[in-house]
Structure 1
């Protein structure tokens, strides 16, 4: 089946969704009238009311979608005067593709490139064309690879793929809105089955269109360059995710952010500093994962398809892609100023940002150890001296049990404590690095290795030597210690979620983190629990969610009695004497099939020795 026919089938199925919905409403209305004519007034009234509710639901959904307006793209537009070389390349490639060039080019903050077209008359009449280029993508591709990407995007124009784009997008919105309005009844269930068919066909059309656009990439840029551009996409995406997670997240959660010019500038620095690591990633096999709902074929499938396309010899331009945009850094800074919602965070340069955020994030981890040491020592609060006293007194095993650590984990935590103490004493600082983790350096700017001190602090017989070395360095173990009395969700990662769990008898959605649980009160109905949790996670960070709802850190748990594993039932006793009952229901949905198991594994660490369930 050709792509054109597939697209036509997709459009027909879209129209058919509402034809089916209308047929159901008309049929139910006719049945209501028949019941009324047959003197079954009560049944006719109930059926008529149900029919009216369905009709209103469909109308409300269509009205919402009709009134909705797409969010305007906020990135800066690159005019021909701003980027003459880029526009020259785009127009040249459009001519080779036999299509009209886009009317504007706009920068975006993602590892992405895309096109759209404001069409009229259901896609029969073309309109304004837009080309979008992600700044992180421009920072990782070379000019030859960018030409391949541009050829691919222009291929969507030359094959008329963008003509039905707005119609399909609106249609998908309408279907989703209709299903939301009709959730919880048999009509909604039937239409959901039909919607699955529409989305499957629509995704298949999109995948075929991607392969058609790839043909133009190979014809214009050459097979080797086109394939290298495809292989670069997951590398760029992984590098961008690494940058956000390892360099930005801690600072962001702590109330700090890079300056506007440092936001994308930092990523450019990282790409340059980690050239060898990125080269190793390029040697990996391209991703092959794909489902029938994906709008794009897997990278592996696209690379393999290119092997079957006619090749042309094209010399590859290996200059960085951003050289086509004079003043690229200024444009990237403008984009960051528009899209990065700093929201009152203090903006710092990278050196200061790393030093500040690391101290704060490491102190939160240190506080976990200090609170555990305080419990073992029977104190209200603890300092580094308390931890050393616990180990010297032969109570290391108690500390490890309270922390839930094993193996070398306590050694790593003690090294964190002594390095944090050194920073607080003013004898060390964290030095920012793009090529690897931040370095702990002394006053002479040389790396300060505190591993021997931490190792000595692990054993009762050598704790004295650790104290002496710290004193020699200028660290007072009694003046560095616990800051916070209670745990927060900072640094927490979502491992799963369980919907409609009975928490002390009331239903809650439980977001399972690696450091605790966020308990969110829910409606009585169990339907759409997974969608509810996904929407919740999209509404804010785990730190924000934990501040709005009850957060129970695992470190607060003294004892966990697992009374049933499937579905999970557990009675928790907290260190402050409070209790918490968790009862997973058979009908509750989960974020994934491992969610319940991941929570069970964490609670088992607090089960009394010899306990069974």
Structure 2
């Protein structure tokens, strides 16, 4: 439990603070030293066991047992060695000097004095909804070093001065509580656990001991971290006031949700398609202003009250309750935008973009053009999925909207539509295809120069005509899916200058663009012989060649997925798109043994091993996908 506050001042006495800091240092150092000592003890035990083995056994049997022991303890020691040699990464973000942001630096220095600590040596702006502090210490935190304060650009763009003061006071409170002195020790401990436990399998009895120790270390470390957060919260309340502290705490999840929404709905789709906006951080500021009503509704929601012993931060509701229970003191209200402390925030955003954003080979466009190019390509990709199936059904090398109209005129749209609406009869599917047809017609209008995309920060992008009026092809699409009215649809499109022939397939083969990773199954058998890691995407299966050894399958797949997008995976490895699968035969469900029949006549056998690694519940996901594909083929 958090100790009672002495004297009613809202502060923490120097004696109690020093004692708690010293105790935390002792716990961290002792537990970390114990982790390494445990490795040495196990090494000594293995040495003794090998000695005893060769005293009683000889030849191949003794050699095999010795090898197994050395392999087991070697995996543990290798992880410990990597942890000993590793160091924290270089500091990131954009350095802001006192000359560049004098008001911000003055505020930080004043807050540091009020909190009772030395001001940071550097302030860095980072591309995150977060603020943090670090310190380069020596001798396990006994000697201080360079201090850095990290401030998230989204906080500067959205917080008030009061809210930002509260967050900065909280972070500086970590300094006054000497929390950063232990950062190096904590980092070393976490890394030691990660590197060691990540390199041992479930078969390794030595790893079991380390896993139990790692569980205990994490339990203690997280409890200490939660205590530190509450201490820093009280520093924030004392310096910035209860109202500002509570307000900033409630605002953080709102900004975080808006940030995720911004990247997910405004940047991600175009980014994956090869485009990038020219002002990444400036766009977020505009969205935050335009979505004020939606954000206001989010602020009315009750803060999160879920927590566990494994969390490094207390629940927001718990932190707010502790803040409100602290003694109140008078504080002047400053509701100005936090940008008042850094008037050059827009220029800083562009500088930060140059510092941290890697555009690669993407085409960088102004926001209006970025949205138009991205949305058009999104439509084209959806259309290509239709055109590939239309070409296969019509027996043509390639197809476009004209060929889809040809299928409608020939009364064969039901064959095509059944692939998109497998639960319906062909007649029902043809009628339901009207929504898909409306998308194709919208693309035709864009390609014909009769429509374009209107960018908006307050709502989704809208397809509009040359006069800026939204266009709607719903009624024409309904005409275009029936043989008796498709001619009328052609005529009405021609009246609007929309050319059916303007839309053709671009991607003749399915790709992983826009796909999500659903799971992974390391070490499966392909066609009864080939060993592979199977990546499950929302658009199909990726087959990655794998070694015959089943060791480290999860680790191998995790490393691949962490640095490779679905589009890159499908370009680099064999991709079996769902649209290319005709029928599925499931010979056994546990472990899965299935045969895929492709439209081209080829078959693909996939067999899960009893000893295969399992990434989460990927085997269940795989079975669900196969059942859906099988049922689709039965319609």
Aligned length: 609
> Which shifted more, 132-141 or 147-156?
132-141
Quote the residue 1:250 is aligned against.
269
Q: Does 1:417 align with 2:448?
A: no
- The 5 Å alignment of 1:144-543 reads 144-183=162-201, 185-259=204-278, 262-404=279-421, 410-505=433-528, 506-543=530-567
1:374-397 Cα offsets, whole Å, 9 max, x none, are 233333322213223333444443
The answer to whether the Cα contact below 8 Å between 2:76 and 2:206 also exists between their aligned partners in 1 is no
Taking structure 2 as the reference length, the TM-score comes to: 0.89
Cα distance in 2, alignment partners of residues 523 and 188 from structure 1: 23
Cα distance in 2, alignment partners of residues 79 and 344 from structure 1: 32
> Which shifted more, 545-554 or 111-120?
545-554
The answer to whether the Cα contact below 8 Å between 1:561 and 1:608 also exists between their aligned partners in 2 is no
* Post-superposition offset of 1:349: 0.9
Quote the residue 2:16 is aligned against.
none
- Match among 18, 22, 40 for residue 36 of structure 2: 18
Cα distance in 1, alignment partners of residues 84 and 28 from structure 2: 20
Distance 1:583 1:308, change over 3 A: farther
The 3-state SS of whatever aligns with 1:353 is helix
* Post-superposition offset of 1:322: 2.4
Cα distance in 1, alignment partners of residues 306 and 540 from structure 2: 31
* Post-superposition offset of 1:364: 0.9
* Post-superposition offset of 1:414: 1.6
Taking structure 1 as the reference length, the TM-score comes to: 0.92
Cα distance in 2, alignment partners of residues 390 and 41 from structure 1: 75
Distance 1:284 1:525, change over 3 A: farther
The answer to whether the Cα contact below 8 Å between 2:163 and 2:247 also exists between their aligned partners in 1 is yes
Distance 1:509 1:87, change over 3 A: same
Cα distance in 1, alignment partners of residues 234 and 484 from structure 2: 70
Quote the residue 1:570 is aligned against.
594
Distance 1:450 1:318, change over 3 A: farther
* Post-superposition offset of 1:147: 1.0
Distance 1:600 1:24, change over 3 A: closer
The answer to whether the Cα contact below 8 Å between 1:557 and 1:574 also exists between their aligned partners in 2 is yes
Computed over aligned residues only, the root mean square deviation of the Cα atoms, in angstroms, reads: 2.7
Quote the residue 2:99 is aligned against.
81
The answer to whether the Cα contact below 8 Å between 2:445 and 2:499 also exists between their aligned partners in 1 is no
Cα distance in 1, alignment partners of residues 247 and 57 from structure 2: 73
Q: Does 1:139 align with 2:162?
A: no
Distance 1:41 1:14, change over 3 A: farther
The answer to whether the Cα contact below 8 Å between 1:351 and 1:432 also exists between their aligned partners in 2 is yes
Distance 1:314 1:589, change over 3 A: farther
The 3-state SS of whatever aligns with 1:605 is helix
Gaps of 5+ in 2: 3-19, 424-428
* Post-superposition offset of 1:50: 5.6
Cα distance in 2, alignment partners of residues 161 and 246 from structure 1: 37
Distance 1:39 1:603, change over 3 A: closer
